Amino acid sequence: MQHTTPYQPDLILKLKANDEPTLKALYIANYPKIERYILENNGTREDAKDVYQEAFIAVWRSVQNDKASFTGIDKLQGYMYRVAQYKWTDQLRHDKKNRTASLPETEIGEPVNNEPDSDEADYIEKVKQHYATMDEPCKDVLYRFYYQKQSMSQIANKYSWTDATAKNNKYRCLQRLRQMVLKNNNR
pLDDT in tens, 102-142: 444 443 344 444 444 556 667 777 888 888 888 888 889 88
The dihedral region occupied by 167, where left means phi > 0, alpha psi between -120 and 50, and beta the remainder, is alpha
Q: The pTM is what?
A: 0.48
Q: Each residue of 95-112: pLDDT tens digit? A: 765 544 444 444 334 444
pLDDT at position 32:
92
pLDDT at position 35:
92
CATH class of the domain comprising 11-97: mainly alpha
Are 142 and 173 contacting, i.e. CB atoms less than 8 angstroms apart?
yes
pLDDT at position 109:
41
Q: How far apart are CA 60 and CA 23, in angstroms?
A: 9
pLDDT average, residue stretch 40-63:
87
Which CATH architecture fits 118-185? Orthogonal Bundle (1.10)
Percent of the chain clearing pLDDT 70 (strictly above): 78
For residues 96-123, b (16+ Cβ closer than 10 Å) or e, as one string? eeeeeeeeeeeeeeeeeeeeeeeeeeee
What sections of the chain are H helices per DSSP?
11-16, 20-40, 45-64, 73-98, 118-133, 138-142, 152-159, 163-185
Nearest by Cα to 142 from 180, 173, 167, 176: 173
pLDDT at position 186:
61
One-letter amino acid at 156 equals A
The residue extents of the domains of the chain are 11-97, 118-185
